[in-house]
Amino acid sequence: MGRFLFVISLQVSVLVTQAQNSCQTVEYMHQALLKSPDFVSRMMEIENFTQGYIRSHNATTSSNDDSGLVVIPVVVHILYNNTQQNISDAQVKSQIAVLNQDYIRRNADTVNTPARFKPVAADCGFQFELAKVDPNGYATTGIIHKQTDVQSFGLEDGIKFSSTGGDDGWDRDSYLNIWVGNLTNGFLGYSSVVGGPVANDGVVVLYNAFGVGGSAVAPFDKGRTTTHEIGHWMNLIHTWGDAFCGNDYVADTPPQQAADYGSPSGIIITCNNAPLGNMYQNYMDFSNDASMNLFTQGQKQRMIALFQPGGPHYAILSSTALTGIPLKDTLSADEGSGSGFSVSLYPNPSTDHINVNFSDNSVFGSELEIFNQLGMKLTSTIIEELNLSVNVSSFPKGLYFVRVNKAQGALIKKFIKL
């Protein structure tokens, strides 16, 4: 216990040396500990759990522990004070694409990983998908756009609560919450502390360091800030251990004196880490986005540990947020979708065709999809007229869902095939 507390004190001691344009997770952790000193014991429990998994993992074959993808449902809360901060859905989707490349090592810049680090570079086995069903059972795009009077948010978590100009998070046992907005002093982002308060769980990212294109500004324009912060959400520590030659509890990341900034090159020797040098290509360092390109096998083990039975993220594996089938039948404008249109189906039950009628032409250009009860999409079409006839004669008997997707929201209807 004394050693763990000593590490925490070292992490706090280096805060004054961190640049403003950086991750603020350690400072956030410091504030959390000041508010709830008893939280130290919870952190110790999670670290002991993690180390226990790693010991067990190293004593068995990896196929017994981490085969297959871990799929994580995501909701992105965009808080904007002006139109520039209201990033597009396309930019959000570009960030999801980056995560899905970085966490399975399919990113194109793996070619930039030095030969000395390639043996430990890891496919971490995580996939991220925007939620399809919200906590109330309604269809969702997994993206929330919300205007706020707040000009910038700080580490006090105001961005995470509607009462302080932000947006309330969704259940952390079913979703990874990502809040995007304008942050105080231009810092890039921060993550909640693993095992911390339920309502605060998730990561926060500066709007112009999120995704690719759009508002993203170099040198933080390749989506790696979010990759970094989610690494913290999955219990990774900065590569320098947040202390002078500190410990990140990962055996295959070389020790290093402090954070690397900018675009380092060559072998940088610190903390007697020759011949490898600093791993400034690691997503958990502070180098520019273009310099980052790997997680290690040891970091993978720390992340995977949280999703084991008894781990703090284990519950999210049972999330139904990606089933594609909302629990509710319809979603109307007064229920929060902002859709402002209606759909009727007939005949219902149906045998050969289902007729779909729309209330107005605002639906033109939107997508109509039909799903079975397992969430499998059977057909889709772009809506170009108010009355559609869909051939369902080849569908097996059973219950089906018609979903109409518009930019403002989605509407769901059920029908039965006889």
pLDDT-wise least confident of 8-17, 184-193, 209-218: 8-17
User: Where does a domain end: 289, 318, 347?
Assistant: 318
Q: Is there a single domain that holds both residue 274 and residue 401?
A: no
DSSP conformational letter for 106? -
Choose the catalytic residue: 229, 335, 367, 369. Answer: 229
Distance in angstroms (rounded) separating the CA atoms of residues 158 and 86: 18
Co-location of 373 and 268 in the same domain: no
Please count the structural domains in the chain.
2
| 196 and 156 within one domain | yes
Q: Which two tokens stand for residue 229?
A: 């912060």
Tell me if 323 is assigned to some domain: no
Q: Identify whether 295 is part of a domain.
A: yes
Q: What is each CA distance from 19 to 34, 113, 276, in whole angstroms?
A: 22, 26, 26
Specify whether 68 is located in the same domain as 146.
yes
pLDDT at 1 over 60: no
Over residues 77-89, the mean pLDDT reads 97
The answer to whether residue 234 sits within a structural domain is yes
**What mean pLDDT value characterizes the chain?**
87
Q: Specify the pLDDT at position 186.
A: 81
Give, in degrees to the nearest 5, the angle at Cα 55 between 52 and 59: 140
Asked if the structure places residue 108 within a domain, the reply is yes
Would you say residue 328 lies in a domain? Answer: no
Measured CA to CA, the distance from residue 114 to residue 91 in angstroms comes to: 30
Q: How large is the average pLDDT for residues 60-76?
A: 71
Are 214 and 171 contained in the same domain?
yes
- Whether residues 78 and 204 share a domain: the answer is yes
How far lies 12's CA from each of 187, 203, 261, 305, 380, in Å? 17, 20, 20, 25, 53
CATH number at residue 358: 2.60.40.3080
Dihedral (CA of 143, 374, 100, 135) sign: positive
pLDDT at 194: 94
Within a domain: 93: yes
Contacts of residue 414, Cβ cutoff 8 Å, sequence gap at least 6: 329, 399, 400, 401, 402
385 is a catalytic site residue = no
Q: For 227-278, how does the pLDDT look when each residue is reduced to its tens digit (9 = 90+)?
A: 999 999 999 999 999 999 999 999 999 999 999 999 999 999 999 999 999 9
Q: Give this prediction's pTM.
A: 0.77
Q: How far is the C-alpha of 72 from the C-alpha of 96, rounded, in Å?
A: 11
Element (H, E) at 7: helix 2-13
Q: Are residues 293 and 395 in the same domain?
A: no
- Measured in residues, the chain has a length of 418
What Cα–Cα distance (Å) separates residue 395 from each residue in 315, 356, 368, 380, 405?
34, 17, 17, 14, 22
The CA-atom distances, in angstroms, between 70 and each of 34, 51, 182, 397 are 33, 20, 30, 33
Residue 325 counted as domain residue: no
Same domain, 237 and 141: yes
Instruction: Please name the residues in contact with 384: beta carbons below 8 A apart, sequence gap of 6 or more.
Output: 364, 365
Domain boundary among 286, 318, 350: 318
Neighbours of 3 (CB within 10 A): 7
Span 328-349, average pLDDT: 59
The pLDDT confidence band at residue 133, using thresholds 50, 70 and 90, is confident
42, 65: one domain: yes
Residues 276 and 394 in one domain: no
Residues 286 and 386 occupy one common structural domain = no
Q: Look at residue 338 and tell me whether its pLDDT is greater than 60.
A: no
For the chain, give the longest Cα–Cα distance.
76
Distance CA 70, CA 66 (A): 9
Extract the tokens encoding 218: 């170099």
For residue 388, what is the enclosing H or E element? strand 387-391
CA pair distance 326, 133, nearest whole angstrom: 6
239 vs 62, more confident: 239
Residues 150-181 have pLDDT tens digits of: 999 999 999 999 999 999 999 999 999 999 99
Q: Are residues 382 and 291 in the same domain?
A: no
- 119 phi/psi in degrees, rounded to 5: -65, -25
Domain that holds residue 224: 2-318
Residue where one domain finishes, among candidates 261, 295, 318: 318
Supply the CATH number for residue 61's domain. Answer: 3.40.390.10
**Looking at 136-140, 200-204, 245-249, 390-394, which range is the least confident one?**
136-140
Q: Give a yes or no: residue 346 inside a domain.
A: yes
Are the CB atoms for 139 and 133 separated by under 8 Å? yes
Class of residue 345 by CB neighbours under 10 A (exposed 0-12, middle 13-18, buried 19+):
middle
**How are beta strands 126-130 and 176-181 bridged, if at all?**
unpaired
How many CA atoms within 13 Å lie on the side-chain side of 158? 16
For β-strands 70-80 and 143-147, DSSP reports them as parallel
